Structure 1
Amino acid sequence: MAETTLTRRRPRTGPRTRWSARSIILHVVIALGALAMFFPFYWTLITSLSPGTGLSGTPSFFPANPSLDAYLRLFTDVPFARVVGNSLLLAVITTLAQLFTSATAAYVFSRLPFPGRGVVFGIYLATMMIPLQVLVVPLFAQLRTWGLVDTYFGAVLPTLAAAFGVFLLRQAMNQVPIQLDEAASLDGAGHFRIFWGVILPNIRPALATLAVFAFMGSWNSFLWPLVVLRSPEVQTLPVALAGLQGQYTTQWDIVMAGSVVSILPMLALYLFAQKYIIQGVANTGLK
């Protein structure tokens, strides 16, 4: 009887050992991939802490004499605080505007039937295939006619609505049961109350996902602010970072210090909304 029990248990040890080996290899590969992705950020950080360093020469993974001199010069020699404030202002306005316009438009496409709704939604999504480079010249000409060049409003006007945001929130609203709307209607709720009290609380992960995408898109935007914002007082962070590179020589420690400063707000925002981003992508069916 004991031999029979041992004979039955032996086949289970083999696959369990092989699965353990596969698990170890998988974790090693993931760790190597994580290190490869983390290395540029680490290199940026140690370069910013090494005064007078360059990008050539023998790499040093640990700075010999770490110093915050590059950060001090960044905020004293360059009006970098004003630049960060400009980027933060535009990013917050863009994020709030896209949340409002995308949520309201998504509610119409998801809950209000009207003739040609699918066609209109398809045409609206087709605008995502038009690159920004094609629209820069006509947008700039239009804003110059309106006198909005070199203004904050001119910088955020083309980004107040986004087709991707409408698509993302519409997919999330489609997952909310229509029976909740009907129950609220029986209690006398109108469209505004249903939208504010029923739909929005059920799509918080999608709203957080859109907020992160909109903030990062505005924060990292380079081409449009470069074209429409002329004065140094209204420059954004990516444009100011590009201006730190000289024609013949570049102080890479100051450039890397500015890069670290530009990374911190996005990192904090992503860490804060990470759980909602994962839920939002899973619930909306994006892969």
Structure 2
Amino acid sequence: MKRILVWAALGVISVLFAYPFVWLLSASFKPRGEVFDHRLIPETFTFDNYIKVWQEAPMALWLLNTAFVTVMAAIAVTVTSAMVAWGFAYFRFPGRGPLFGLVLATMMLPGAVTMIPTYLIWNSLGMVGTLTPLWAQNLFGSAFYIFLLRQFFLGLPREPFEAARVDGANNWQIFTRIALPLCRPAIVVTWLFEFQAAWTDLMRPLIYLRDSTTFTVPRGLKALLDQYGFGGEWHWEIVMTASVITTVPMIVLFFVGQRHFVRGIATTGSKG
């Protein structure tokens, strides 16, 4: 009976989480007048929306821009955060604790506090209007990911690292050949987290992008919403279809990396 109740509760929660996407998917196959009829099975089934969205907007270009920004942002923050986290976890140096606390304290700063100074920096570099500010900020790491990876590194035994040092390995070889492979689940979790965050980011594209040829998908969806949602035409079926096209890659990515994702979340911070 207990197992039945648990499965029933999980089923109800799963339905609640899945319903918005199922509704969105259903709306993308409906004509304009039936988008908000709340039918999960369309009364009039049509593929015209998926043809029209590619005609009305440069979705291929937006997807390409988003893929470039997302991959670069995920790689940059994963590599730099792992390096900093390894330094805090492995090396012993004076002031390590207070310095790590200072890194964590940066998470308490709201993004709005650094938004204007960061914009002024990129503007002085002449990068406003390009895709560079959307991913290059990640070259300096992230306090959250540093904390996440540090906890995983602390759970590793030091004996393999000391043995490698006796055999002549330097710090970089120990980090790349031993530490990173042992922390693969945490690395995958960090990469997936940042990939999802960069893929769905709207704030930075709104601030830095001006030309529609440089739009990412979220910025493009905002442009579509302005055009078809508030321009008097109210073509919500186009917005729904574009939203489905944006969401599907994230679902596929989660299922591909699900094993590493669950393992990384379950084991991160379990030791140390």
> Shorter-normalised TM-score: what interval?
over 0.9
Which deviates the most, 151-160 or 31-40? 151-160
Distance in 2 (alpha carbons) for counterparts of 1:129 and 1:26: 37
Indicate yes or no: 2:251 matched with 1:271.
no
Deviations 1:154-212 (A, max 9, x none): 22222332111111111111111001111111111111111111101100000000010
CA distance in 2, matches of 1:76, 1:221: 24
Q: What's the counterpart of residue 215 of structure 1? A: 195
* Aligned position for 2:240: 256
1:54-90 residue CA offsets vs partner (Å, 9 max, x unmatched): 554x421211232221111111221111111111110
> Is the counterpart of residue 99 in structure 1 residue 83 in structure 2?
no
CA distance in 2, matches of 1:276, 1:53: 43
Question: How far off is 1:249 after superposition?
Answer: 3.5
Matched AA of 1:52: R
Is contact 1:74–1:258 with CA below 8 Å preserved after alignment?
yes
- 2:264 and 2:51 map into 1 onto residues whose CA distance is 39
Q: Does the CA contact (< 8 Å) of 2:86 and 2:150 recur in 1?
A: yes
CA contact (8 A) 1:74 1:254 kept: yes
Residue 174 to residue 53, structure 1, CA distance change in 2 (3 Å): farther
User: Equivalent residue for 1:12?
Assistant: none
AA partner of residue 171 (structure 1): Q
Distance in structure 2 (CA, Å) of the matches to 1:67 and 1:54: 11
Matched AA of 1:261: I
Say if 2:155 and 2:269, in contact at 8 Å, map to a contact too: no
Distance across 1 between alignment mates of 2:160 and 2:77: 25
Instruction: Tell me which residue corresponds to 1:191.
Output: 171
Q: Does 1:157 align with 2:141?
A: no
Q: Could you tell me which amino acid in structure 2 is paired with residue 201 of structure 1?
A: P
Counterpart AA for 1:149 = V
Q: Which residue, 192, 201, 209 being the options, matches 1:229?
A: 209
Unaligned runs of 5+ in 2: none
Runs of 5+ consecutive residues of structure 1 not aligned to the other structure: 1-19
Aligned length: 265
1:73 aligns with 2:52: yes
User: Where do 1:50-199 residues align within 5 Å?
Assistant: 50-53=30-33, 55-56=35-36, 58-160=37-139, 161-199=141-179
Bigger radius of gyration: 1
For 1:204 and 1:268, how far apart are their aligned partners in 2?
20
Partner Cα distance (1:133, 1:224) in 2: 11
Match of 1:205 among 168, 182, 185: 185
- The alpha-carbon deviation at position 272 of structure 1 amounts to 1.1
| Counterpart contact for 1:149–1:228, Cα < 8 Å | yes
Give the counterpart letter for 1:38 in structure 2: A
- Asked if the contact 1:155–1:229 (Cα under 8 Å) also holds between the matched residues in 2, the reply is no
How many angstroms does 1:276 deviate by?
A: 0.9
What amino acid is aligned across from residue 281 of structure 1 in structure 2?
Answer: I
CA–CA distance in structure 1, aligned partners of residues 39 and 85 of structure 2? 51
In structure 2, give the amino acid aligned to 1:83: W
**Separation (CA, whole Å) in 1 of partners of 2:35 and 2:20:** 12
Match of 1:28 in 2: 8
Report sequence identity in percent: 32
1:237-280, Cα deviation, whole Å (9 max, x unpaired): 11111221232332111111111111111111111111111111
Aligned equivalent of 2:266 = 282
Report the RMSD for the aligned CA atoms in angstroms. 1.4
- Matching residue's letter, 1:23: R
1:271 maps to a residue whose letter is F
